[in-house]
Amino acid sequence: MTAKVSRRLVVPDSVRVHRYQNLPELAPSVLFFSGGSALNKIARVLKAYTHHSIHLVTPFDSGGSSAKLRQAFNIPAVGDLRSRMMALADETVLGQPDVFELFSYRLPFDATVAELEQELAALSVGEHPLMQPILAPMKTLITTQLIRLCSELPKDFDLRGASVGNLIIAGGYLGHGQLLDPIIFLFSRLVKTLGQVTTIVDETHHLGVRLESDEVVLGQHQITGKETVPLAQPIKEIWLNQGLEERLPVSATLPEDRKQLIEQADLICFPPGSFFTSLVANLLVDGVSHAILNNPNPKIYLPNLGVDPEQLGWSLMDRVEYLLTLLLGDAERNATEPVLNWLLIDEHYDYGEVDLECLAKWGVGVVKTPLIGIKPHHYSEHMVVQALLSFT
């Protein structure tokens, strides 16, 4: 038997939050659709309140260290996956700081080819200074993945600035039949990730957008405005694309295990981060909207602070309407469960127009509460975590 129960909402709910902090292993599951690094600081705080957070990250990045691995092995982007796993790792586990340092280390940008190859070889046999403090079985697992990677690494592969954590995961991907899930599971257990991190799909697609002028831009690194000049016109359309050479829209289907995670979460959060490439990209996968609709629990949009180059020409109200349209679609107008219940915003920050009457017509309530600490244009991680958990 299932039944809906309503209660008075208090944000932040200090009693509820304190209970979770005392017993995080029994706290609720909070699911985030995200990518990039914007949520990592919040994730590090969140693990003190709940060990059941779920992070569905995008594998579509085409920039940074991931780009070279994608070109060499046709692999999904693993950088965001790695950084989120490390953010959620149990910092009380013996040797965890050493593993974190190794996974966060990048090979030098200014070293010669010979020096880079020598350093990678030292890592793969466990003789590198960063490897020496790491204990078995983690050390053996890491060297196994690096040895596999080295055996398949193209001779002309550019190791400058390569993320060692990405190289390790790529080696595991190659050693497990080009599947990410087995190596994610293995490392999550070994570093005792206090939460669950996985990609929304295990696919090698890229992102494409159409601008207001009808210009097509392919590749996340060209869209975000972080590695290239920011887009000069608003984004009007986004899709999953096959490759980076021409517009070739493709689809991807949500795996059953991800579907269950979404449907069973105690709370769903659409969090801060690059609006299109980190948040919306997750929602393009077939089956995501249906899974969200099948979940009767609170769904919350926590919008960005500051400037997101991808949001050029998109007001807060535009973004809320876009999320509703994307997730509902014409076929789901009669859905019994909403795809978005709440807009969670700081009580004093200027987000632009917040049309309460219009939001109410859309079925979206607004909760205003302190979310910003001493740093302007930055959310307080503790305030955000406590506010979100108050909805559960």
Beta strands 206-211; 235-241: pairing state: antiparallel
Residue 228, number of CB atoms within 10 A of its CB = 14
Residues with Cβ within 8 Å of 311's Cβ and at least 6 positions away in sequence, in order, are 275, 304, 319
Q: Which two tokens stand for residue 92?
A: 């009380």
- In a structure prediction context, what are the per-residue pLDDT tens digits for the chain, which is 392 residues long? 566 767 789 999 999 999 999 999 999 999 999 987 889 999 999 999 999 999 999 999 998 888 899 999 999 999 999 999 999 999 888 788 899 899 999 999 999 999 999 999 999 999 999 999 998 888 999 999 999 999 999 999 999 999 999 999 999 999 999 999 999 998 898 889 999 999 999 999 999 999 999 999 999 999 998 778 999 999 999 999 999 999 999 999 999 999 999 999 999 999 999 999 999 999 999 999 999 999 999 999 999 998 899 999 999 999 999 999 999 974 455 566 789 999 999 999 999 999 999 999 999 999 999 999 999 899 999 999 999 999 99
User: Under a CB-based contact definition with an 8 Å cutoff, are residues 35 and 282 in contact?
Assistant: yes
Residue 52 makes CB contacts below 8 A (sequence gap 6+) with: 27, 28, 29, 30, 195, 196
Q: At what angle do helices 164-175 and 96-104 cross, to 10 degrees?
A: 90
Cα–Cα distance for residue pair 352/295, rounded to 1 Å: 30
The answer as to CATH 3.30.950 being correct for domain 1-58+253-392 is: no
Task: Determine the pLDDT at residue 56.
Answer: 98
pLDDT of residue 331: 45
Whole-number pLDDT of residue 329: 79
pTM, 2 dp? 0.94
**pLDDT confidence of residue 330:** 46
Give domain limits for the chain: 1-58+253-392, 59-199, 206-241
Contact 74, 50 (CB under 8 A): no
Per-residue pLDDT at 334: 56
Backbone angles phi, psi at 67, to 5 degrees: -60, -45
Residues listed for the chain? 392
Q: Say if CB 267 and CB 28 are below 8 A apart.
A: yes
3-state secondary structure of 347: coil
Q: Quick check: 340 and 320 in contact, CB under 8 A? A: yes
Tell me, what's the pLDDT at 8? 87
User: What token pair was written down for 51?
Assistant: 């060990």
What is the structure's pLDDT at 300?
Answer: 98
